[in-house]
Chains A and B, each alone.
Chain A
Amino acid sequence: MDIIVGVKVIYEEQDISVNASGGLDVSSAAPKIGQFDLNALQAACDIKAQIPDAKIKALSIGGKVLENPKVQKDILSRGADELYILAGDEFANLSSTKTAQLFAEAARQIGYSLIITGDGSADVFSSCVGLLAGARLDIPAINGISAIKDINSASISVLRDTGTLSQELLIPLPAAIALSSDINTPAPPSMKAILAASKKGVSTLSLSLQDSLDSMSKPTSTTNKQREHKIEPDDSDESVARFVLNLKQALGE
């Protein structure tokens, strides 16, 4: 069973700064795997624990940051057997429809029985690339998967949380599933897995966009509400008293 896991590499949010023109500066921010994609890698590992001959193929589309060996090793140390990347400036900051078009084409090339994506990417959180890719591949595609109950070569039995309903579904394979972020708690990679990662293969895909349905403007920083920033530096009795006074003021008392 070939399992494709969608992995988006994003930047450490706390280190993103705003430049003078209001644009985002990520030059000091470290790349990392989006937090919801860690759930997808973990879910694939959990399936592999049941079906040992399953092969986990991580697929990542994005800017040249994907060529960073540290980023690649991080993905491969979290259970992926193989990593496929589509990297280049033209693939950074794509809309969901464009990413899905490339994702579906990549999936066709590398082969799959199951496609797993997270709840959404941790940067734009559109939560629809896996669903769009599944629709493009003309396979069942469903989201909100909160538990995988059983899987065999023909189907996968899951629990789904729609937000208002708890559903139990039987999905014929091949299929694309997007997870609910509470499906699992991703385990940190073991030392053995980190060492093994450097021996695994990274394949570079060559694809180009065919259709363009939309375009994205350059991101600009949002204006945050002005805050008072009255922070007591310690919890001495005097500081606590001042803090409590401010808190009561905020309550309108």
Chain B
Amino acid sequence: MKEIFVICDEPSKLDELVGVANALSQKVSVVDFGFETSDISADFVIKFDQKAQMIEEYANSIADILKDKDALVLMPSNRVSKALGARLSVLLNASIATEVKELRLENDKLMAKRLIYGGVAEYWLETDSKIAIALLSPGAAQKANSSKTPVQISAKFIAPKHKIELLSSTPKQKAGVDLSSAKKIVAIGRGVANESDLAMVNELCLSLGAELGCTRPIAESSKWLPHERYIGISSVMARPNFYLAIGVSGQIQHMIGIKDAGKIIAINKDKNAPIFEYADYGIVGDLYKVVPEILKAIKG
């Protein structure tokens, strides 16, 4: 049986990872990065004798604990875990799978399902290494409820060989929105010509009770909206009941972010726009004619 180590830098993701770990193994250890771990249901909580400035600096310390184990490491699929996980992978000669959509343990081998080409296809990564590292997307595996009281273990901090100097670190200003849990989303793409048109779209969002989302060019090239509102493979994956795309062409990198939406509705003046292949309802037309009509109908 593989021993499971949960290494999580995001407090909000810890419960799910610990739940998955308890469903997969009867020996679960959690690395404590300094946030509240007193009510964690695990067999062991590991705390280092020195606090690092950056989570990535714990790589050598964690590798020292894991080096002789037959283990599965569970982490959230985020940038810090990718940086730390990659270093661990090399230090421990361990396979690593990021953005895991489904996870299984078969004969103690990690099987990780991943998407390819923005969700056109999927494949399984089968690991042959004694230690495997999986960075899980939310909902990748079943959780188990348990009520263990962990034994606290103190471990020695081993400084990294190369020091990246952290000059400053500030919490990011969030847009105050979590599109991944929004029930209704109106998203805009490059078909919306002017930033001033956002007023009309915002009015529509307000009338529908929907959150505003966008495609990558709107967030990264035009910078009309913050990154938190960009839906797609390298940002938010959403699952709304209602998704209205205005001037969104339907590039795969965007569509993967809403492929499981309840109803997809599209307005685009290009009849060949790929968005129509994914849509339940659509209209080939001028958004500046259609959107005011929707507003009129919704407001009654």
Contact B85 A182 (CB under 8 A): no
Q: Which of B97, B169, B252, B293 touches A240 (beta carbons < 8 Å)?
A: B293
Interface check A199, CB cutoff 8 A: no
Contact A219 B123 (CB under 8 A): yes
Interfacial chain B residues near A123, Cβ < 8 Å: 116-117
Contact with A along B190-216 (1 / 0, CB 8 A): 000000000000000000100000001
Docked pose: A168 CA to B253 CA in angstroms: 29
Interface check B95, CB cutoff 8 A: yes
Interface check B24, CB cutoff 8 A: no
Contact A135 B162 (CB under 8 A): no
Contact A168 B167 (CB under 8 A): yes
Question: Nearest Cβ in chain B — how far from A159, in angstroms?
Answer: 9
Interface check A191, CB cutoff 8 A: no
B-side interface residues toward A, CB under 8 Å?
10, 54, 56, 78-80, 82-83, 85-87, 89-91, 93-99, 114-129, 161-172, 184, 208, 216, 219-221, 227, 233-234, 242, 244, 251-253, 259-260, 262-266, 271, 274, 276-286, 289-290, 293-294, 297-298
Contact B96 A96 (CB under 8 A): yes
Docked pose: A184 CA to B181 CA in angstroms: 29
Docked pose: A197 CA to B216 CA in angstroms: 29
Contact B164 A233 (CB under 8 A): no
Interfacial chain A residues near B259, Cβ < 8 Å: 224-225
Docked pose: A98 CA to B126 CA in angstroms: 13
With A132-B96, A244-B293 known as contacts, the answer to whether A143 contacts B82 (CB < 8 A) is yes
Interfacial chain A residues near B265, Cβ < 8 Å: 246-247, 250
- The list of the 10 closest CB pairs from A to B, nearest first, reads A235-B285, A131-B86, A135-B90, A250-B263, A219-B121, A170-B165, A214-B95, A231-B282, A213-B95, A246-B281
Interface check A35, CB cutoff 8 A: yes
Contact A143 B123 (CB under 8 A): no
Contact A132 B121 (CB under 8 A): no
Interface check A153, CB cutoff 8 A: no
Docked pose: A182 CA to B220 CA in angstroms: 5
Q: Which of A162, A234, A247 touches B294 (beta carbons < 8 Å)?
A: A247
Contact A139 B162 (CB under 8 A): yes
Interface check A227, CB cutoff 8 A: yes
With A128-B82, A250-B281 known as contacts, the answer to whether A35 contacts B115 (CB < 8 A) is no
Contact with B along A127-168 (1 / 0, CB 8 A): 110011011101111111000000000000100011111111
Question: Nearest Cβ in chain B — how far from A230, in angstroms?
Answer: 5
Interfacial chain A residues near B242, Cβ < 8 Å: 250-251
With A163-B172, A164-B171, A235-B283 known as contacts, the answer to whether A97 contacts B96 (CB < 8 A) is yes
Contact A162 B79 (CB under 8 A): yes
Contact A168 B168 (CB under 8 A): yes
With A128-B98, A168-B168, A235-B289 known as contacts, the answer to whether A182 contacts B227 (CB < 8 A) is yes
Interfacial chain A residues near B93, Cβ < 8 Å: 211, 213
Docked pose: A40 CA to B282 CA in angstroms: 37
Docked pose: A240 CA to B94 CA in angstroms: 56
Docked pose: A159 CA to B205 CA in angstroms: 33
Docked pose: A14 CA to B278 CA in angstroms: 12
Docked pose: A17 CA to B95 CA in angstroms: 30
Contact B83 A141 (CB under 8 A): yes
Contact A235 B90 (CB under 8 A): no
Contact with B along A85-128 (1 / 0, CB 8 A): 00000000001110010000000000000000001101111111
Contact A243 B127 (CB under 8 A): no
A-side interface residues toward B, CB under 8 Å?
10-11, 13-14, 16, 18, 24, 35-36, 95-97, 100, 119-120, 122-128, 131-132, 134-136, 138-144, 157, 161-172, 175, 181-182, 185, 211-222, 224-225, 227-235, 239-241, 243-244, 246-248, 250-251
Contact B290 A165 (CB under 8 A): no
Question: Nearest Cβ in chain A — how far from B283, in angstroms?
Answer: 4
Interfacial chain B residues near A185, Cβ < 8 Å: 220-221
Docked pose: A218 CA to B124 CA in angstroms: 8
Docked pose: A229 CA to B281 CA in angstroms: 6
Docked pose: A139 CA to B80 CA in angstroms: 17
Interfacial chain B residues near A175, Cβ < 8 Å: 162
Contact B280 A127 (CB under 8 A): no
Docked pose: A175 CA to B80 CA in angstroms: 17
Contact A128 B96 (CB under 8 A): yes
With A132-B96, A136-B90, A162-B80 known as contacts, the answer to whether A214 contacts B128 (CB < 8 A) is yes
Name, among B219, B234, B251, the residue most crowded by chain A CB atoms within 10 Å (CB to CB): B234
Docked pose: A128 CA to B97 CA in angstroms: 9
Interfacial chain B residues near A241, Cβ < 8 Å: 293
Q: Which of A35, A166, A172 touches B163 (beta carbons < 8 Å)?
A: A172
Question: Known pairs A182-B227, A243-B282. 19 more at Cβ < 8 A?
Answer: A14-B251, A95-B95, A128-B96, A135-B86, A161-B79, A167-B169, A168-B166, A168-B167, A172-B164, A213-B94, A220-B121, A220-B122, A221-B120, A224-B278, A227-B278, A233-B284, A235-B284, A235-B290, A250-B281
Contact B98 A96 (CB under 8 A): yes
Docked pose: A136 CA to B87 CA in angstroms: 8
